[in-house]
């Protein structure tokens, strides 16, 4: 506290209801009132407002001068009175309802317990029911509160310094974290850009693949539309391959049987005992039955293109005139009727002919009474076997 005359002034202890003025309080009340109830910046503005020339000095000089002026009624003390009344108007209204010293003392103790003493201090000192004893008690309480506040302030300053250091450390860690997060964000941005590029490329590849698939699907549909009986042809081709394999197996078996027969015959002749040798006329080989195809026109419909020369050689060796039509695969189907009309014998290769050509040949031969031979296997040997069964047409 500042050095000043601490002798209490004479108070009017009559039952007046008027609040005390600042200059009417004991001088030992002025220092805690000015120091606690007014911030230093506000006090300096009030002092400079009253003085013609601003006061040169530190905060302590300003405080001492203001406290000295509170001892009497003057411009400065009146300005301080108005400022304090305006600053603590709410607290003053609350304390105005207190009618006795006991209630006033209780209100002061509650304010001390709450830690909000500035407004309660001014309201208690200026209250009409506050006597000298209460003023002394309140000033002493405020004196101890200021000591405790100073000690707390020193502790708080130490804590504040530690908190500042901790805050600086946290600030550095935060800055490092921000830099790390920024680097991570940049890395993620680069990864996202790369992934977006890959996604765009994949979308383009998928679109190109879909376009290719659609193009191939259209081509396949076009081929299927152009060849409606393609599945039947594929099935017939598989059947032909199976029959050819079977024919080859039978031919191999026939060769084996002939070889076996030749061996057994030679063995039988070697062990036979001749009874007598009777000269006789040499045996004439049995002539194969004639095919009676000389000067006949034979039309072969269908068959494999690779076997057509063999068909021709076989028929022309018997003196026939050979004609061939592929059944509408490559040759025009309109030429089939002309070829059928010119033929004396028709050979239909059912394994290598379209359904349309098959029914066309069958219907023509039936309507015109023309003999038609149906051959399942398109091989030359099958054709030769079937021709041997053919007799002269009636």
The reported pLDDT for the residue numbered 278 is 39
Closest by Cα among 346, 357, 353, 358 to 386: 346
The CATH number covering residue 366 comes to: 3.40.50.2300
Length of the chain, in residues: 394
Confirm if 301 and 352 have CB atoms less than 8 A apart.
Answer: no
Q: pLDDT digits over 307-354, tens only?
A: 888 888 888 888 888 888 887 666 666 678 888 888 888 998 887 788
**CB within 8 A of 239, min separation 6: which ones?**
351
Question: Is there a domain that residue 252 lies in?
Answer: no
**If you average pLDDT over each of 27-36, 231-240, 279-288, which comes out highest?**
27-36
What is the band of 223 on the pLDDT scale with cuts at 50, 70, 90?
confident
Question: Is there a domain that residue 305 lies in?
Answer: yes
Strand pairing report for 297-301 and 321-325: parallel
More confident residue, 1 or 354: 354
What is the band of 8 on the pLDDT scale with cuts at 50, 70, 90?
very low
Tell me the C-alpha to C-alpha distance, in Å, between residue 236 and each of 182, 243, 320, 357, 382. 73, 10, 29, 14, 17
For the chain, the helix, strand and coil percentages under 3-state DSSP, each to the nearest 5: 65, 5, 30
- Structure tokens belonging to residue 244: 């050819």
Question: Is there a domain that residue 261 lies in?
Answer: no
Q: What is the total count of domains within the chain? A: 2
Q: Which of 32-46, 50-64, 226-240, 318-332 has the lowest mean pLDDT?
A: 226-240
- Strand blocks (E) in the chain: 297-301, 321-325, 345-349, 372-375
More confident residue, 238 or 3: 238
The reported pLDDT for the residue numbered 339 is 86
Question: Is there a domain that residue 96 lies in?
Answer: yes
Question: Is there a domain that residue 345 lies in?
Answer: yes
Confirm if 138 and 108 have CB atoms less than 8 A apart.
Answer: yes
Among 124, 148, 172, the domain boundary falls at: 148
Phi, psi of 60 (to 5 degrees): -65, -40
The reported pLDDT for the residue numbered 230 is 67
Closest by Cα among 129, 93, 102, 121 to 20: 129
- Structure tokens belonging to residue 33: 């009132």
How far, in Å, CA of 303 to CA of 298, rounded? 14
Phi, psi of 301 (to 5 degrees): -105, 120
How far, in Å, CA of 112 to CA of 278, rounded? 166
Q: Radius of gyration of the chain from Cα atoms?
A: 67
The reported pLDDT for the residue numbered 5 is 44
* CA neighbours closer than 13 Å in the CB half-sphere of residue 392: 6
> pTM to 2 decimals?
0.39
- Structure tokens belonging to residue 78: 């009146």
Among 148, 177, 203, the domain boundary falls at: 148
pLDDT reading at 149 higher than 60: yes
Q: Where on the phi/psi map is residue 4: left (φ > 0), alpha (ψ -120 to 50), or beta?
A: beta
Domain that holds residue 344: 297-388
Q: Which of 33-37, 81-85, 260-264 has the lowest mean pLDDT?
A: 260-264
Among 119, 148, 177, the domain boundary falls at: 148
How far, in Å, CA of 155 to CA of 268, rounded? 138
Question: Is there a domain that residue 213 lies in?
Answer: no
Quick one: CA torsion of 35, 38, 40, 41, rounded to 10 degrees? 180
How far, in Å, CA of 121 to CA of 138, rounded? 7
pLDDT reading at 299 higher than 50: yes
The reported pLDDT for the residue numbered 256 is 84
Give the number of other Cβ atoms within 10 Å of residue 269's Cβ: 9
Question: Is there a domain that residue 393 lies in?
Answer: no
Question: Is there a domain that residue 165 lies in?
Answer: no
């Amino acid at each position: 506290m500042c050095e000043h005359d601490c002798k209490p002034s004479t108070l009017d202890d009559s039952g007046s209801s008027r609040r005390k003025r600042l200059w009417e309080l004991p001088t030992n009340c002025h220092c805690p009132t000015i120091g606690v109830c007014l911030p230093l910046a506000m006090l300096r503005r009030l002092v400079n407002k009253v003085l013609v020339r601003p006061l040169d000095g530190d905060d302590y000089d300003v405080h001492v001068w203001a406290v000295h002026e509170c001892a009497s009624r003057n411009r400065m003390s009146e300005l301080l009175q108005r400022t304090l009344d305006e600053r603590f108007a709410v607290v003053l209204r609350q304390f105005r309802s207190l009618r006795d010293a006991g209630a006033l003392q209780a209100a002061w103790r509650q304010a001390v317990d709450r830690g909000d003493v500035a407004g309660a201090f001014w309201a208690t000192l200026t209250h009409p029911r506050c006597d000298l004893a209460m003023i002394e008690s309140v000033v002493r309480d405020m004196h101890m509160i200021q000591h405790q506040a100073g000690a707390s302030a020193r502790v708080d300053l130490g804590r504040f310094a530690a908190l500042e250091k901790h805050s600086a450390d946290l600030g550095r860690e935060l800055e490092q974290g921000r830099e790390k997060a920024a680097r991570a964000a940049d890395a993620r941005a680069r990864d996202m850009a790369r992934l977006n590029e890959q996604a765009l490329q994949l979308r383009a590849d998928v679109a190109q693949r879909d376009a290719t698939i659609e193009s191939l699907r259209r081509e396949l549909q076009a081929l299927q539309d152009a060849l409606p009986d393609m599945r039947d042809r594929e099935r017939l081709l598989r059947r032909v391959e199976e029959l050819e394999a079977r024919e080859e197996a039978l031919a191999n078996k026939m060769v084996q049987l002939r070889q076996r027969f030749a061996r057994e015959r030679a063995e039988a002749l070697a062990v036979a005992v001749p009874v007598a040798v009777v000269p006789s006329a040499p045996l004439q080989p049995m002539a194969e039955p004639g095919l009676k195809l000389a000067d006949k026109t034979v039309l072969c419909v269908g068959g494999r293109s690779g076997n057509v020369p063999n068909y021709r050689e076989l028929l022309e060796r018997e003196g026939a005139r050979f004609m061939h039509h592929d059944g509408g695969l490559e040759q025009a189907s309109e030429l089939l009727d002309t070829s059928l009309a010119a033929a004396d014998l028709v050979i239909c290769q059912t394994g290598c002919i379209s359904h349309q050509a098959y029914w066309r040949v069958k219907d023509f031969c039936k309507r015109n009474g023309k003999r038609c031979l149906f051959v399942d296997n398109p091989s030359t040997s099958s054709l030769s076997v079937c021709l041997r069964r053919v007799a002269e047409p009636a």
